[in-house]
Amino acid sequence: MLGYATRKLLISVVVLFFATLVAFLLVATVDPIAEQRVFLLSQPGGAEQVQRLEASLGLDKPLMERYGSWLGDMFTGDMGTSTDNGRAVTTLLGEAIPVTLRLVIAATVISVILGVAVGVVSAMRQYGKFDNISTFFAFLFFAMPVFWLGALLKDLGIRFNDWWGRRIFFTIGEQSPRLDADFWGTWADRAGHIILPALTLIAIQLAATSRFQRSAMLDVLESDYIRTARAKGVPRRRVITHHALRNALLPVVSYTGLTFGTLIGGTVVTEVVFNWKGMGRLFLESLLNGDVAVTQGWLLAVGISVIIVNLLTDLTYGFLDPRVRDG
């Protein structure tokens, strides 16, 4: 296991290196002064001004040299400042990440647990009532665009509040502004805010996870070692929990890791629908403002999180499957 973990860690470092390269190139190959350039060059003596501008931004240096100094800055924690509001990129990320993390973790944990449970129960009574109903909802949510589901839940939440006469579901922001509450009050307020956006993500993730778990479980239940376990006299419940489930979790673990990127995409959309000040909003604003340093910092942060999640997935997989661990 230790050898396996070390190997996976080394691979992650290599991947991380490429991720920094991609994050840099994606943004650096876009000319940040394209408009000024056209304007200035049409003026007498504009060429010199362009050169000066390039030098001040470091654009006159070769691409690889620029990458090197950018990477060095990144390592020392200097991710530059926003050209839009002059704040440090690290500060902006530091504010946005915890907000988004809350949503992503809640959605992932709940959708995986529910997805596994729904998938297992569906598989055990294939084509039963529960299976048919869950299949219906899985396809429904699977086919629904995230923004639409989000908007729908938002609308339902508002109607529910009106009907109840009290605000149960908050539909704007990640917490009430100028909230003056103790620790528990703060978290209760956050919970009220997170329900609907989390539900949006959960519904979509759950649709895929439960289908995936269902088919993995059906495959495993037909395998020879399940027959062996039954032939030994292992009670049905124990066959499911100790033999079938442990094997059927494997594909779901890798699936969850692989679709983490998609989840981030869904999170960006959900945050916009519910006006959260998280990573989604930060990304969109940086794009709209041409805020290169923020976009780069964002890409890097998300890239790192994807790498970390994949590493965790691999380690979990190795923990569950001895064949992978030794392979």
Nearest 5°: phi and psi at 78? -100, 100
Q: Which of 13, 225, 241, 287 binds another protein (CB under 8 A)?
A: 225
Residues touching another protein, count (CB under 8 A):
23
Contact call for residue 224 and another protein (CB under 8 A): yes
Contact call for residue 232 and another protein (CB under 8 A): yes
CB of 223 to another protein, least distance (A): 7
Could you tell me the sign of the dihedral formed by the alpha carbons of 162, 166, 172, 174, in that order?
negative
**CA neighbor of 254 nearest in space, from 312, 215, 326, 303:** 312
Q: Are 230 and 239 in contact (CB under 8 A)?
A: yes
CB of 161 to another protein, least distance (A): 48
Q: Which residue's CB is nearer to another protein, number 87 or number 242?
A: 242
Contact call for residue 241 and another protein (CB under 8 A): no
Q: Which residue's CB is nearer to another protein, number 185 or number 322?
A: 322
CB of 208 to another protein, least distance (A): 24
Q: Which residue's CB is nearer to another protein, number 265 or number 322?
A: 322
**Looking at residue 81, what DSSP letter applies?**
B
Q: Which of 6, 43, 51, 228 binds another protein (CB under 8 A)?
A: 228
Q: How far apart are CA 133 and CA 210, in angstroms?
A: 12
Q: Which of 230, 258, 265, 275 binds another protein (CB under 8 A)?
A: 230
What is the CA 212 to chain-centroid distance, rounded?
19
Buried b (16+ CB within 10 A) or exposed e, 26-64: ebbeeebeeeebeebeeeeeeeeebeebbeeeebeeeee
CB of 326 to another protein, least distance (A): 7
* Secondary structure of residue 93 in the 3-state scheme: helix
What is the CA 298 to chain-centroid distance, rounded?
13
- Mask of contacts with another protein, 31-70, x by CB under 8 A? ----------------------------------------
Q: Which residue's CB is nearer to another protein, number 166 or number 323?
A: 323
Q: How far apart are CA 192 and CA 170, in angstroms?
A: 6
Among 156-164, 188-196, 241-249, 287-295, which window interacts with another protein (CB under 8 A)?
241-249
* Residue ranges that bind another protein, judged by CB under 8 A: 223-225, 227-236, 238, 242-243, 246-247, 320-323, 326
